[in-house]
């Protein structure tokens, strides 16, 4: 098996399986197997398990990385599935490019620590271009939020002024009604 004092290289087959059964993939990603089955249908372009001779689905490391990203987008970022499907291609491309650049396509950027508790997944380091785009979007959204906050404050002031005027008009109407009754 080799010298135990020497760490095993990441591409040695004994270190980590090349394919994972449904239950193993679910445990690594930190979700129930039913979620994996559902995501297979919802994100079929990104999660493409193969079948063994016995008909059992097995997931590649890339499938498991895609599932971990899907979990992050849906659970951590709270995106609906439609938006997660829109964001996933750029995240997967960035991860694939980063992994390829390091010569670790099979290992991938997302480190899957099998000894870690279920649900613990390291999120990949994003591409600087993707980060810049996200920062631009955040800045734009913050500006929109600030503009909307100013509009809400303006509408609230107008509402308060309208309420005050309405109260004045009610008082005047009551005074006029009193004058009419007394005449």
List pLDDT tens digits, range 13-42. 445 568 899 999 999 989 999 999 999 999
Residue 152, CA atoms < 13 Å, CB-side half-sphere: 6
| Cα atoms in the 13 Å half-sphere on the side-chain side of 23 | 1
Confidence label for 97 from pLDDT (cuts 50, 70 and 90): confident
Domain 19-124: CATH class, spelled out: mainly alpha
Instruction: From residue 41, give the alpha-carbon distance in Å to each of 4, 44, 71, 78, 81.
Output: 43, 5, 14, 19, 11
Q: How sure is the predictor about 99, in pLDDT bands with cuts at 50, 70 and 90?
A: low
Structure confidence at residue 163 (pLDDT): 96
- What average pLDDT score do residues 116-138 get? 65
Residue 125 confidence class, pLDDT cut points 50, 70, 90: low
Say if residues 19 and 59 touch (Cβ distance below 8 Å).
yes
For residues 115 and 113, give the distance between their C-alpha atoms in angstroms, rounded to a whole number. 5
Residue pointed to by tokens 């087959």: 13
pLDDT band, very low/low/confident/very high, at 117 (cuts 50, 70, 90) = very low
Model pTM? Answer: 0.48
| Domain ranges across the chain | 19-124, 127-183
In this model, does residue 171 exceed pLDDT 90?
A: yes
Scanning the structure block, which residue is given the tokens 């007394």? 182
How much is the pLDDT for 149?
Answer: 92
pLDDT band at residue 153 using 50, 70 and 90 as cut-offs: very high
Place of tokens 């445990």: 27
Query: Strand 57-60 relative to strand 50-51: parallel, antiparallel, unpaired?
Result: antiparallel
Please give the average per-residue pLDDT across 69-77, as a whole number: 89
Q: Would the pLDDT of 1 be above 60? A: no
Answer whether residue 112 shows pLDDT above 60. no
């Amino acid at each position: 098996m080799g010298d135990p004092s020497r760490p095993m290289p990441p591409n040695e087959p004994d270190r980590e399986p090349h394919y994972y059964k449904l239950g193993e993939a679910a445990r690594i990603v930190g979700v129930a197997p039913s979620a994996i089955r559902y995501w297979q249908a919802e994100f079929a372009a990104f999660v493409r398990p193969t079948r063994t001779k016995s008909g059992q689905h097995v997931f590649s490391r890339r499938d498991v990385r895609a599932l971990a990203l899907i979990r992050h987008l849906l659970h951590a970022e709270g995106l609906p599935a439609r938006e997660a499907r829109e964001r996933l291609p750029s995240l997967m491309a960035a991860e694939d490019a980063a992994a390829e650049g390091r010569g670790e396509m099979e290992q991938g950027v997302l480190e899957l620590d099998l000894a870690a508790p279920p649900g613990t997944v390291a999120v990949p380091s994003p591409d600087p271009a993707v980060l810049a785009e996200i920062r631009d979007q955040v800045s734009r959204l913050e500006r929109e939020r600030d503009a909307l906050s100013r509009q809400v404050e303006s509408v609230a002031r107008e509402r308060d002024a309208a309420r005050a005027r309405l109260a004045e008009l009610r008082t005047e109407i009551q005074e006029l009604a009193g004058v009419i009754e007394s005449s």
